[in-house]
Amino acid sequence: MIQVTNLVKDYTLAAQVYRVLNGISFTIPQGMLSAIIGPSGSGKTTLLNILGGLDSPSAGQYLLNGRDVSHFGPDEWAHERNHTIGFVFQSFQLIPALSARDNVALPLVYRGIPQRLRRIRADEELEKVGLGHRIHHRPQQLSGGQQQRVAIARALVANPPVILADEPTGNLDHATGLEILEILRQLSQAGKTVVIVTHSQEVAQVCRQVIEIQDGHIVTNTMEMEHSL
Amino acid sequence: MTWKDGFILAFHGMISNKLRAILTMLGVIIGVAAVIVLVAIGQGASSMVTSRIETLGTNVIFVSPAAGTPFPVSETNIVAHALPFSLQVVPSMNTGSKVSTLTTQGSAQIAGTTPSYLRLGGISLAAGHFITPEEVSASQHVAVLGANQVSNLFGAQNPVGSSIMIMGQKFQVVGALNAVGQGPGASQDNEIFIPITAAQTLFRTTQLSQMIVKTSNPNQANLTADYLTNLYTNEFGSSTAVSVASEDQVLLTLQATRATFTNLLAGTAAIALLVGGIGIMNIMLVSVTERTREIGIRRALGATREDVLLQFLFESMTMSLSGGLIGVIAGLGIMHLVPLILKTPAVFSPAALILAFVFSTAVGLIFGLYPAIKASGLDPIHALRYDG
């Protein structure tokens, strides 16, 4: 579960302070498929970075699975990301020099899991996203959709309860985008909290919770209450 | 991240960019190989000098006048009868000169001396005879050639009976010496020996360059050296007008010189290693910039700053360690070729090998540290957005 209260983020540029997030409060329950939506510059990516601990808030409280992580330092966050959060990026963010398998296994390296076990786990996850036959391929040998599947497998390999996805369909054609969305939807049904940052209404429509942001404020926060398990 | 993972990761990085890795390692390879080879050459030269001196014995004293001190040939007779025990006193007049045959020319150290030079030991005849007492008395123009002079002037031919020109005068070759290698001072291999009487006329002087005194009993050597020191200090009113050096002292001086020489060579090689380290740092800095996005990805997936620091440190150390290993192999290979190509001995020094290896590892660690710190300090958000 993600719970933020009065979250504020200020940036200082040329001695001028810009408020990117201005008193944001919301709750995303465990197992929710949630969209954070808004035009460019609305602050949605900054919010996702704060949720993932890549950026820190200027003020406010952030509870992740009931723990206050508002004042975590960079290395506490590194540990937290490794254990609690899986990232999926718009531009896939795979390491070109590594095979699909080694890319997927990467989070396990930082858990000190031996290479043999890492490979077994990576192969399992690649199999789940339908890329069991592509384990030795490098990212540049895969299509955009396949690369995003590798990225999803990587986000899942350490079995984190939260998946944060930044425009996961942004670089994909329509049909492939729908496939990726379906995978994310199934993950939320399996109990993972999935947060998608997007500017696309179509993507938002698939989600059960939609938080709309404009100029650093929440404009609407709607949630379907019925469970479709 | 475990150490094993760090090295596996670093090794993969190296393999995936072989050419760059080899070029980066080149500085360390050359540095380590240079340390091993140059120290081996230095030690080889040192051991050769020591063994040459040992064959001469420890009962030899070198008496050399400083520039400007009058030291005529007649000193030889004074010293020969100065002490109550028998002394071998060998005069020597030296000068560098051009020498030629009808077809070849070169330069040589010309030494005017007496037949007793041969009895000092250390040289032996390959052909003909050494200067005889008769040739000295008659001031004959005869010459005995060192091994290098034979090969320079006559190649593989037997020079005995041929003529050579020294300072415009014709000399007949009566003997040729076996090779001795580098000894104390100039090697006899480069010398041409002529009768001291002929040298006086040729050089137009009676001034000696050096007098070599040999006692028949080694125990008398120190006594003789002390006596000669006192004699000349009183005669000239200065202890520096004539230097009296026993074999031991010459040996010590030479050893010190050789040690300086070896240190100089090792220092030069160490500079090469240092330059190699700077090369590694350059490439690592480029690598950090090129892989900024990768660093961002790793941070997003749970790598701590320390993990990133270690990753880059492992890479620079793997590079310098591999370079060090290749350098050791190359150095040992070249060291074995040195005696064949340069005709000079090379003595392997385990200390130099260990030092070179440790130094190259330290180079990787020290010069890898700055790029690694730079990498670990990158902001993950900016790193993820980096578009290099």
Q: ipTM, 2 decimals?
A: 0.91
Of A81, A112, A115, which has the smallest distance from its Cβ to B300's Cβ? Answer: A81
Return the pLDDT at B184.
Answer: 47
Of A52, A75, A93, which has the smallest distance from its Cβ to B297's Cβ? Answer: A93
Structural domain contains residue A65: no
Structural domain contains residue A91: yes
Return the pLDDT at B56.
Answer: 61
Residue B51 banded pLDDT, cuts 50, 70, 90: low
Structural domain contains residue A106: yes
Task: Please give, rounded to a whole number of angstroms, the shortest distance from the CA of B368 to a CA of chain A.
Answer: 21
3-state secondary structure of A208: coil
Residue A16 banded pLDDT, cuts 50, 70, 90: very high
What is the average per-residue pLDDT within B141-162? 92
8 Å CB contact of B304 and A110: yes
Structural domain contains residue A6: no
- Chain segment B71-122, per-residue pLDDT in tens: 888 888 888 887 777 788 899 999 888 999 988 988 899 999 999 888 887 7
Return the pLDDT at B165.
Answer: 94
Determine what percent of chain A is predicted with pLDDT higher than 70.
98
Query: Average pLDDT over chain A, rounded to whole?
Result: 92
Q: Residue holding tokens 């094993």?
A: B4
Structural domain contains residue A114: yes
Find, among B14, B87, B2, the residue nearest to B315 by Cα: B14
Q: How far is CA B345 from the centre of its chain?
A: 10
Number of CB atoms found within 10 A of residue B204's CB? 7
Query: Average pLDDT over chain B, rounded to whole?
Result: 86
**Has residue B68 got a pLDDT over 90?**
no
8 Å CB contact of B304 and A93: no
Range of the domain at A104: 28-48+82-223
What residues of chain A lie within 8 A of the CB of B300, using their CB? 52, 54, 81, 87, 93
Of B12, B16, B305, which has the smallest distance from its Cβ to A74's Cβ? Answer: B305
8 Å CB contact of B384 and A54: yes
- Chain segment B336-363, per-residue pLDDT in tens: 988 888 777 788 888 888 888 888 888 8
* Structure tokens that stand for A84 in this block: 């609690």
Structural domain contains residue A14: no
CA atoms within 13 A on the CB side of A87: 31
B93, amino acid identity? M
8 Å CB contact of A93 and B16: no
* Structure tokens that stand for B127 in this block: 């052909």
* B79, B211 Cβ separation under 8 angstroms: yes
What is each CA distance from B157 to A226, B146, B150, B151, B253, in whole angstroms? 111, 14, 8, 8, 38
Q: Nearest 5°: phi and psi at A163?
A: -115, 125
What residues of chain B lie within 8 A of the CB of A111, using their CB? 302
B184/A65 Cα distance (integer angstroms): 85
User: Which of the residue ranges B129-143, B242-256, B372-386 would you say has the lowest mean pLDDT?
Assistant: B242-256
Return the pLDDT at A229.
Answer: 44
Of A74, A82, A97, which has the smallest distance from its Cβ to B301's Cβ? Answer: A82
- Chain segment B275-310, per-residue pLDDT in tens: 888 888 898 899 899 889 999 999 999 999 999 999
What residues of chain B lie within 8 A of the CB of A73, using their CB? none
What is the average per-residue pLDDT within B215-220? 80
Q: Residue holding tokens 């090689």?
A: B269
Residue B57 banded pLDDT, cuts 50, 70, 90: low
Strands A162-166 and A193-198, bridge-based pairing: parallel
B268-299 burial, b at 16+ Cβ within 10 Å, e below that, comes to ebbebbbebbebbbebbbebbeebbbbbbbbb
* Structure tokens that stand for B192 in this block: 């041409």
Q: Choose the mutation target among B299, B301, B378 for the interface with A, i.e. most A CBs under 10 Å.
A: B301
Determine what percent of chain B is predicted with pLDDT higher than 70.
95
What are the sequence ranges of the domains in chain B? Answer: 3-51+253-385, 60-216
Q: Which residue in chain B is spatially nearest to A81 when comparing CA positions?
A: B302
Return the pLDDT at B246.
Answer: 78
8 Å CB contact of B303 and A94: no
What is the average per-residue pLDDT within B56-69? 80
Structural domain contains residue A228: no
Return the pLDDT at B330.
Answer: 94
- A165 or B245, which is more confident: A165
Q: Tell me how many domains chain A contains.
A: 1
CATH at A191: 3.40.50.300
* Structure tokens that stand for A203 in this block: 């993507």
Structural domain contains residue A70: no
